[in-house]
């Protein structure tokens, strides 16, 4: 029987800078009138795997915070995913085989980081699987608001963020992965996620370019 993995203790690493990832195959232009921002799993349980100070945690939180503020100001919908603690194994499904029981139902695990916490008017979806679209109304929420582009930020880049970008693409929603507003188990995993999304499912952009477009 395979022993389920737990979250690793993540070593510090520098955020990628523009030029550290390949050009995206897609040439979609980000449009503030068409996009929504997805803040993916920015909960204490996931963030506490990173060192408390330094990179990538501090720039991740800072960049997500400025994106959230800018999107709210521009009238762009802001959507959060957040897992519930102590999930019934029948609901957790195969994730339990790989990652064990997951977080407990306590604030120290479930709370979204205060610097990027949801505000009135934002939308919070309960997260069930890697992709934010699975077992949620994300697709309906976007369609009802006339949004067919999705900005993706948060953790972890090569798991939920990448899975969400792939599913958005398969639903004909343009995904934009924000390179320095995601973080991962290591710089290698982070870079791999950027390369894969740039190659076959979305556009990879830095925070500064997104802010310049939506201001």
Residues acting as catalytic residues: 41
Q: How many CA atoms lie within 13 A of 119 on its CB side?
A: 10
Instruction: Give the closest residue to 115 by CA, choosing from 44, 183, 164.
Output: 44
Q: How many CA atoms lie within 13 A of 97 on its CB side?
A: 5
Instruction: Give the closest residue to 13 by CA, choosing from 167, 186, 179, 142.
Output: 186
Count Cβ atoms within 10 A of the Cβ of residue 161 and give its class: 0-12 exposed, 13-18 middle, 19 or more buried.
Answer: buried
CA distance 212 to 215: 6
């Amino acid at each position: 029987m395979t022993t389920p993995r737990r979250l690793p203790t993540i070593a510090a690493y520098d955020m990628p800078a523009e030029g550290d990832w390949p050009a995206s195959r897609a040439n979609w232009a980000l449009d503030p009138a068409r996009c929504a921002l997805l803040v993916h799993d920015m909960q204490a349980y996931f963030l506490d795997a990173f060192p408390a100070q330094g990179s990538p945690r501090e720039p991740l939180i800072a960049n997500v915070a400025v994106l959230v503020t800018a999107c709210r100001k521009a009238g762009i919908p802001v959507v959060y995913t957040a897992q519930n603690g102590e999930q019934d194994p029948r609901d957790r499904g195969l994730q339990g085989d790989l990652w064990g029981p997951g977080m407990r139902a306590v604030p120290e695990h479930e709370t979204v980081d205060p610097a990027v916490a949801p505000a009135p008017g934002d939308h919070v979806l309960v997260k069930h699987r890697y992709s934010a679209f699975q077992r949620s109304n994300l697709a309906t929420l976007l369609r009802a608001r006339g949004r067919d582009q999705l900005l993706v930020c948060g953790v972890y880049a090569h798991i939920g963020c990448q899975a969400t970008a792939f599913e958005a693409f398969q639903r004909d929603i343009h995904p934009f992965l924000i390179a320095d507003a995601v973080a991962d188990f290591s710089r290698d995993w982070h870079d791999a996620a950027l390369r894969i999304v740039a190659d076959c499912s979305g556009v990879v952009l830095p925070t500064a370019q997104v802010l310049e477009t939506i201001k």
